[in-house]
Amino acid sequence: MDEPRRRAYLEALGIPVWVPRARDGDAPAVAIAEAGDAPPDGASGRAPKLRPTPPEGRAEASNARTVGGAASTFEAIAGLDWEGLRARVAACTACELHRTRTQTVFGVGNPSARLMVIGEAPGADEDRQGEPFVGRAGRLLDAMLQAIGLPRGEVYIANVLKCRPPGNRNPSLEEAACCEGFLRRQIALIAPTLILSVGGIAARNLLGTDTPVGRLRGVVHAYGEERVPVLVTYHPAYLLRQPEEKAKAWQDLQLAARRLRGAG
């Protein structure tokens, strides 16, 4: 990515950029993100260790999936291809959210993506358009991804829930459990190199923990039996409300970029 375009994306993300003044005979100055060089896991700069998924949390989520009369079992979903999975999601009536949705929000992007971004649930814009992360939060997410050289079309974006909770409230455990098989199958079909979990609700359902995002950041976690690496960062909607946290999100993005390059 050329430097002016990269700087434009960083400015959209809200990351201050400074340019060192070049002396006569020096190489041209390069723009540097103010928070860009700080190691996300502390001053040592060592590659973070893979943290296992807490077994008690995953057991709680597995038990919860039987609540509410979920019509789809993991076994029935496990053999579906993309077309069959999309149709199954569109027809799902496993929880009460199907009564208030405009349409389901399946997911969008490259089905062979190395990076999969997983958020919480559709909002009003997503419910109308049938696509995750649109509106202001979606535009910020696009800028975040572009800042590390990944256009939206090169990643795969999905949510824990495929239907919008009324009033944009947090999903219940029962609702998340009804969608868990769908998300699990999406992850299996994509087989991503890395999952970027955005927001506390996504982290809770992927990792089985109520630990705050601020304490989950900077550490490589693992999802499922395949031990897919997971990084946790703030949700773009939260960053719109708390712009002072964007520098931390930029550190998380840089860690994701290094993992995708195989550099740590």
pLDDT digits (tens, 9 = 90+) for 61-115: 433 343 333 444 677 898 999 999 999 999 999 999 999 999 999 999 999 999 9
Listed in sequence order, the DSSP H helices in the chain are: 3-13, 55-64, 74-77, 82-90, 124-129, 135-147, 173-190, 200-207, 213-216, 236-241, 246-261
pTM exceeding the 0.85 threshold for the entire prediction = no
For 90-110, b/e burial (b = at least 16 CB within 10 A) is eebebbebeeebebbbbbbbb
User: Tens of pLDDT along 140-192?
Assistant: 999 999 999 999 999 999 999 999 999 989 999 999 999 999 999 999 999 99
Predicted local confidence at residue 62, as pLDDT: 38
Tell me, yes or no, whether 34 lies in a domain: no
pLDDT digit string (tens) for 45-54?
A: 444 445 544 4
The pLDDT value recorded for residue 113 is: 97
Integer angstrom CA distances of residue 139 from 19, 153, 155, 239 = 26, 13, 15, 12
In a domain, 93, yes or no: yes
Is the CA virtual torsion 49, 54, 58, 59 positive or negative? Answer: positive
pLDDT score recorded for residue 16:
54
Task: Name the least confident of 7-21, 194-208, 233-247.
Answer: 7-21
Of 4 and 123, the one with more pLDDT: 123
If you count them, how many residues does the chain have?
264
Ranges 34-48, 73-87, 244-258: which has the least confidence: 34-48
Instruction: Provide the domain limits for residue 256.
Output: 48-261
Instruction: Give the pLDDT score at 29.
Output: 38
Q: Given this model, what pLDDT does residue 168 score?
A: 87
Residue 13 belongs to a domain: no
**Residue 137 to residue 73: CA distance in whole angstroms:** 32
Mean pLDDT taken over the chain: 81
Query: In the chain, what percentage of residues exceed pLDDT 70?
Result: 72
Number of domains in the chain: 1
Residue 39 lies in a domain: no
Asked whether the beta carbons of 157 and 89 are under 8 A apart, the reply is no
Lowest mean pLDDT among 55-59, 75-79, 151-155, 259-263: 55-59
In a domain, 20, yes or no: no
242 lies in some domain: yes
Q: Is residue 2 part of a domain?
A: no
What CATH number corresponds to the domain at position 62? 3.40.470.10
| 262 confidence band (pLDDT: 50, 70, 90) | confident
Residue 212 lies in a domain: yes
Q: What is the mean pLDDT of residues 198-221?
A: 96
